[in-house]
Amino acid sequence: MCGRYVMSKATGDLLRHFEAKEVEGSPPPPSWNVAPTQDVPIIAERLAEDAVERRLLIARWGLVPSWAKEVKIGSKLINARSESILDKPAFRKAAIKRRALIPAEGYYEWEKTPDGKKIPHYLHSEKNELLAFAGLYEFWPDPSLPEGDPHRWLLSCTVLTTTAHDSLGHVHDRAPVIVPPEMFHDWLNPGTTDKTEVQKILDAIPEPVLTPTVVTDRVNSVRNNGPELLDPAT
C-alpha cells in the first residue's frame, strides 16, 4: 500500500517536470511526511476547445465518491487496488473519466518482522528525483453547503497500488503503481474512456526500479516532518 510519502518540490518544479500549464488551488507546503486526508498536488488533463490542457490541482488525499454521504469515507480510500478499479463502485467512474498523476519523491513502507516489529523503509528512485503515482480523482458535493458556494465541491484523490515484486516484495506485498514519463499522457488522456483501453494502459505500466532504505521510527508520527526523516537508520 502507500500510506505516507515525500513531496517537497516547489510548484514551479512540478509544472516543469510534468509540463503542466496552470495551477488550481493553494499548493501545500513542502512535506517529508505526507499523510492521508492532507492536501496534495495532482496532475490531470482536460479537453478544452479541442486541445488537451495539463493542470496541477490540489486535492485531499483519500477519495470521496460523489455519492458518499460523509467526507470521512475518504480516510478508508487512500489507496485503490489497480486490479479492481474498473469494477469497484467507489472507483469505476473515476477510472474511466478522472485519472491523475500524484507527484512524489519517494514513499514509506513498513516491513513486518517475525517478532512483530515494523521497520520503516523509504523507497525511492536513484535515477529520478520525481515519481508519478497513478491516481484517480473525484468531486464530492458537500450537502451542508448551498449551491454556488465556492467551497461546496471537494476534490479528492487516491493512489493506485499493485502487487510488489522482486526487491520490494520483502518490504510489503503491495506497492504504488508508478507511471514512467513516456506514459504520462497515455494515463491522463481524457479521450480514453473505454474500460478495455484503460486496462491495456494499466497492463503496460512497467515495474519500477526502486531502492529501499531503512529509516528511523521518527517517520511513524505525522507530527514529525523534515528532510532528516530520510536519513538512514544507524
CATH code of the domain covering residue 86: 3.90.1680.10
The single residue of 45, 105, 109, 138 carrying the catalytic annotation is: 109
Positions of the chain with pLDDT lower than 70, given as ranges: 166-170, 172
All residues at 6 or more sequence positions from 45 whose CB lies less than 8 Å from its CB, including other chains: 52, 53, 54, 55, 185, 188, 189, 190
The single residue of 2, 45, 138, 157 carrying the catalytic annotation is: 2
The pLDDT, as a whole number, for residue 147 is 87
Element containing residue 204 per DSSP (H, E): helix 195-204
Half-sphere exposure of 212 (CA within 13 A, CB side): 18
| 2 given a catalytic annotation | yes
User: Helix and strand tally (H, E) in the chain?
Assistant: 4, 13
Burial class (CB in 10 A: 0-12, 13-18, 19+), 14: buried
Contact indicator for 202, 161 with CB cutoff of 8 Å: no
The pLDDT, as a whole number, for residue 166 is 59
Torsion 165-168-171-172 (CA) sign: negative
Torsion 91-6-41-204 (CA) sign: negative
| 53 given a catalytic annotation | no
All residues at 6 or more sequence positions from 119 whose CB lies less than 8 Å from its CB, including other chains: 110, 111, 113, 214
Residue numbers of the domain that contains 78: 4-230
**What type of residue is 222?**
V
Count: domains in the chain: 1
The pLDDT, as a whole number, for residue 170 is 62
- pTM summary value: 0.94
Cell numbers 500524484: residue? 102
Contact indicator for 177, 84 with CB cutoff of 8 Å: no
The pLDDT, as a whole number, for residue 153 is 93
